[in-house]
Structures are given as structure tokens and as C-alpha cells.
Amino acid sequence: MKIERKIDEQFLEQLVNTPGLSGYEQKVQRLFRKKIRPFVQNLETDVMGNVFATLNPSGSPKIMLAAHCDETGMMVKYISKEGFIYFHSIGLDAHLIPGSRVQILTKNGPILGIVGKKAIHLQDSDERSNIIPIKDQYIDIGARSRAESENLGIKIGDPILFDYYYSQLGANGDVTGRCFDDRIGVLIIYEILKRLAQDPPKAQVVGVSTTQEEVGLRGATTAAYKVEPDISLVYDVDFSMDSPDSDEKGHGIAKLGEGPIISIGPMDHKVVDLLIETAADLKIPIQRIAEPRNSGTDGDVIQITKSGVAIGVIGIPCRNMHSYSEIVNLNDVEAIIKLSVEFIKRIEPNFKNLP
């Protein structure tokens, strides 16, 4: 898919490289507030840390755009007498972690660590074929005692993130980074509001960078209660099924660079139909994925807020989800932004969201 890109890639790089474990999203949200402020009339933050950026506050109906800013990672749970750091995992696969570089984010600043891994020469046959349980994995920071680790400022509860950062990948618009899930969605909301600010729609648009999605959709739960939207578009990564180890029969056909993924299922059919119709008019290819139950996104709680919300879930194809090297395609991102801007412009004040 060829498309002219207008994305602020410098901002995207900043978003992806800024730390923001679930519950520790403050730096990401400060960055989002700073960038979005010139393009909206109202800017608020709630007790959960959600950021609400409102365009055309007197417009109707009210459209909520949602994407979560938190990321997967780890948390310090125990320091051994030898100074090694043991951790809880938030959304990570156990086999992914050994041997990786991490940053422990203390109040004194980040501390580099390496997740320990026994040399293959020392492993017996069972160890070579088994995954090391997370409870047995540890981080080596070069300390020799618990006191030395504590004197560096490491405390129980400190967040831990992989020490990997944003990079371009190849020549087809692919990029890789630690947390496109779901900073790419936050970037999409920023771009939508920025472009709509040049020609405001009839609708009120509230872009929400939500928190704590990875630990139970918590931010979106309170955010939707506050906003009380009539319509919501939810942006999150979805599985790109075009790598050698993917099974299309298990999830469906979805590929990098082939356009937005539209979830089909118990969402609002009027919203979904209008998304599909708008994409066709813009000649933007879409990829349909069946979601017969929950989508696994913020949309699951937004839809059932108060008396109900008409939602559409738009997926960004992503390889290597919940790893330190996720991959998305910027052409897909640009297509989602253009589709969303046009969709919002087509929403009239008398839009009927009842089935």
C-alpha cells in the first residue's frame, strides 16, 4: 500500500522511547500533553492519569478516541543477599526475558541490568528445552550484596523496562520499538486531533490517552465514565499474521502494510459499516478480523459504560507483540489517521447510534 505520509515521526520516536510501565505513565502523559496542547480547547488529567484532549467542546455528538499509553515490563519484587534483583512480569512471556538488557527506573535515575542466563555449556538436556519460570529469573546489576543494590537506590516496586529503542527497519515503512503497544495508538490520536484542528468537525472530539490497560483496562473504565461518549473509536495493535510462525486459520488474514484492521463482532454495526464505507471511498484497503467476543482492548469497557457506547475498534498490524522489538508499518498508521479524520467529518449532529 502506497500512501503519502504526514506523520510526526520525531514525536513517535519520543513516545516509544519514553518509559511508561502500567501505573508509571506520568512521563509519557506529560509528553502527550505538551504536544497536543496547541490543537485543542480543553486539556485535563484525572486521578488515574488519563489525559483528555477536547476539540470543539460545544459540538455534537461526542466522539471519544481512545488508546492506552502504558507498556508491558517488570517490577522489582525482591533483592537477594548477593544483590540480584528478582521481579514480577507485566504482560511478558517468560522465554523472552533471559539474556536481555533492562533499565531499572529508580528515583535516583535508571540503572542498567542484564537478565541472567546460564551458559548453554552448563545446562543439562532438560534445562535446554524448558522455559525458565519468571520466579527463578533474576537481574544482574553488577552489585555484590543487597546493601550495595539498595545503596544504588533500588527499591521494591521500582519499574523495569527493556533497554531497546525506536529504529527504522528496511525500506517499506516498517519501524521497530519497545512499546508500539500502544504508543502507536496515542500517536494516531495526536495526529487526528492536529489535522481536525485545521478544519473542525461538527462533532465534539475527545482524545484520551488512557492508562493501566495492560493490568485490566483500568484507565479506560474511568475515562469513559467521565466522558460519556456517544461514539468511541479505539486504537490498539492487532496481530500481523504474515510471519513464518503465524497461523492465519487461528486468527485471520492480516499483514503489515496492507491497511487498517477493522474488528467485526459485537461492536456497533453502524460505526463499523461507516468505517468500511469511508475506507472504500478513500480507496484505503482494510483488513477484516472476526472478534466474536471481547476484543482485548479498551473498547471492551468503553462499550458497556453507563447506558452503552457505539464503538469501533481499529487495529494496527503488529509483529512480535509484547516483546522488546515490536514491528508496525507507518503506511498502515497514516491510512488509519486519514480514515479516522474523514469518518469523524461525516458524523452529523443527528447521528443515530441505536441499532
State yes or no: is 213 an active-site residue: yes
Q: Cα–Cα distances in Å, from 288 out to 149, 174, 197, 332? A: 50, 21, 30, 14
Q: Which helix (H) or strand (E) holds 254?
A: none
Q: Return all residues near 3 (Cβ < 8 A) that are at least 6 apart.
A: 284, 331, 334, 335, 338
**What whole-number distance in Å separates Cα of residue 64 and Cα of residue 220?**
11
d(CA 25, CA 211): 7
Paired with 238 in beta bridges are 317
Catalytic residue among 213, 214, 291, 334: 213
Cα–Cα nearest to 90, from 35, 132, 134: 134
Radius of gyration of the chain measured on its C-alpha atoms: 21
**How far, rounded to the nearest angstrom, does the alpha carbon of residue 310 sit from its chain's CA centroid?**
21
d(CA 65, CA 220) in angstroms, rounded, equals: 11
Known catalytic residues? 213
